[in-house]
Amino acid sequence: MEAEAVVVGAGLAGLVAATELADAGMRVVVLEQEGEESLGGQAWWSFGGVFLVGSAEQRRLGVRDSVELAWRDWLGAAGFDRPEDEGPRRWAQAYVEFAATEMRRWLRSLGMRFFPIVGWAERGGGLATGHGNSVPRFHIVWGTGPGVLAPFVAKARAAERGGRLRLVFRHRVTELRIERGAVRGVAGQVLAPSTGVRGAPSSGEPVGDFAVRAPVVVLATGGIGGNLDLVRRYWPRDRLGPPPQRLLCGVPAHVDGAAWALAEAAGAAILHRDRMWHYPEGVAHYDPVWPAHGVRILPGPSALWLDAHGHRLPPPLFPGFDAWSTLAHVRRTGWDHSWFVASEAVVAREFALSGSDQNPDLTSGRLLRVARERGGGRMPGPVRRFLDRGEDWIRARSVDDLVARMNALVNAELVDPRDLMETIRARDDQLRYGYGKDAQVMAIHAARRYRGDRWIRVASPHPFLDGDHGALVAVRLRTLTRKTLGGVATDLEGRVLKPDGTPIDGLYAVGEIAGFGGGGMHGYRSLEGTFLGGCLFGGRVAGRAAARALHVLRAAPR
């Protein structure tokens, strides 16, 4: 095969880059190791949240935001502290400025629309200059992950019909072809047909070979979150202690990090392999699609977060406030699990599950279905199914019964029922007396000052032990792998850089393999909505830059 550009990976970042190239008139081949059922990659499974700054949706809810505030929040989250952070920091600043200006207009021009309530993820809870979003910025696209993908899939299919783009599945790239120091194509293996089930493990059996010659290659192969061996190898033991004995996997197994080795063999610099974004709120899927399949609970602020012994986590480690610091704290306890404990009413109102498949109402794009599913204090169907069928979920009418089941689940007498009773009673008393000193209770009241939280997200504060708000619920939480924050170093055009900072001719990288830009634009932490956002931004930037380079090449005398 021959083309002007090869895009390796048909996830969101790859599709954005490929369609930008095709829109510029280039002949593009997109190579994907999985089957056609996996078109869209990890983005299909996502909640569809995008980090935007100063949007119309924010303003309608009375939220004031600015580039300056968002950039301060980003720096507080990222904690850039290495010489190699110069490029990632430039990418981060470019993303924040894009999120505050052109991004929303661009996405709307493609047909995307946003759910009217802006989510408040990663609230922080520490200092103004520390981690966290000062205001709500998590904009959910109607249709969730599939809704984000839809315009780019449609554009790719149209370009395919027009002869400018080819989508080629079950082709695994194993080599970047280099001529005189420049990348000039790829080679690899044709794989046996896949199962036809999105996300399910597929055969790696080769049935043939292939090669594609092209003056531009764009790597868009994702991170390492599905490769638990690599996750453990690069786990930041100095900051998080040893990795858990059992990890839940938040992404399919094909997210294996194999392209890091390809890029390195071509001379690329790989930055910040030890920076990862995993979640402490993982639960096992009752009907797994891939090995160790886990799902993240997206919690509101009201549940008690307890360590393995039933002790409350210290402020500000409340649900939804600081995932990375909470994970670090839990890992230091010496146990692989922690607990949410709440009333059934809090679970119904505040527990969401991450993913397009766990939010069929939002994925449908129909407001009436959302109102029917979530209105009137009803527990969303997907949450109800996990409560009824999930191995990590416990429901009981008394603290004694709850604790007995918690201890039985982990096969150890770790939680004392008298201690947990006193913990819950003390928390409930903070509500009964009207004022109180409990930082979490104060955070709940603060959250309800925001209209979006008060309307659909945060339960009205109530005692857990009064019997009027359903049974007590405990959920065992484990570490869930998700995003790779480091990656291939790139410049602000998406060109892959060598260790000396010079670009490799013909090679670009976008999305998670590039640390979402520059080799790690998030630093150590994310403010959420920046993974899809980073794929959208990076794919657009690199696709347009590569198209400009190809136009120059076309015009050059032969």
All structural domains of the chain: 5-276+481-555 (3.50.50.60), 288-478 (3.90.700.10)
Residues 6+ apart with CB under 8 A from 72: 128, 129, 134
Other Cβ atoms within 10 Å of 287 Cβ, number: 8
Give the pLDDT of residue 419: 99
Report residue 369's pLDDT band, with 50, 70 and 90 as the boundaries.
confident
Give the pLDDT of residue 482: 97
Report residue 305's pLDDT band, with 50, 70 and 90 as the boundaries.
very high
Report residue 370's pLDDT band, with 50, 70 and 90 as the boundaries.
confident
Question: Is residue 39 pLDDT above 90, yes or no?
Answer: yes
510-to-51, 188, 385, 519, 541 alpha-carbon distances in Å: 18, 20, 37, 10, 9
Other Cβ atoms within 10 Å of 171 Cβ, number: 22
Tokens of 528: 């959420």
Taking the C-alpha atoms of residue 17 and residue 23, their distance in angstroms, rounded to an integer, is: 10
Closest of 467, 480, 194 to residue 337, by C-alpha: 480
Give the pLDDT of residue 216: 99
Give the pLDDT of residue 374: 75
CB 41 within 8 A of CB 10: yes
Instruction: Report helix, strand or coil for 522.
Output: coil
Q: Tens digits of per-residue pLDDT, 466-478?
A: 999 999 999 999 9
Q: Tens digits of per-residue pLDDT, 101-156?
A: 999 999 999 999 999 999 999 999 789 999 999 999 999 999 999 999 999 999 99
Report residue 284's pLDDT band, with 50, 70 and 90 as the boundaries.
very high
Instruction: Report helix, strand or coil for 186.
Output: strand
Q: Tens digits of per-residue pLDDT, 493-541?
A: 999 999 999 999 999 999 999 999 999 999 999 999 999 999 999 999 9
Give the pLDDT of residue 429: 96
Q: Tens digits of per-residue pLDDT, 257-267?
A: 999 999 999 99
Give the pLDDT of residue 365: 87
Give me the mean pLDDT over the 376-396 stretch.
94
Q: What is the mean pLDDT of the chain?
A: 97
Tokens of 231: 């996750």
Q: Tens digits of per-residue pLDDT, 427-450?
A: 999 999 888 899 999 999 999 999
Q: Tens digits of per-residue pLDDT, 46-61?
A: 999 999 999 999 999 9
CA-only gyration radius of the chain, Å: 24
Q: Tens digits of per-residue pLDDT, 309-329?
A: 999 999 999 999 999 999 999
Instruction: Report helix, strand or coil for 276.
Output: strand
Give me the mean pLDDT over the 460-488 stretch.
97
Q: Tens digits of per-residue pLDDT, 228-258?
A: 999 999 999 999 999 999 999 999 999 999 9
Give the pLDDT of residue 195: 81
With pLDDT > 90 as the criterion, what percentage of the chain qualifies?
Answer: 94
Taking the C-alpha atoms of residue 338 and residue 306, their distance in angstroms, rounded to an integer, is: 6
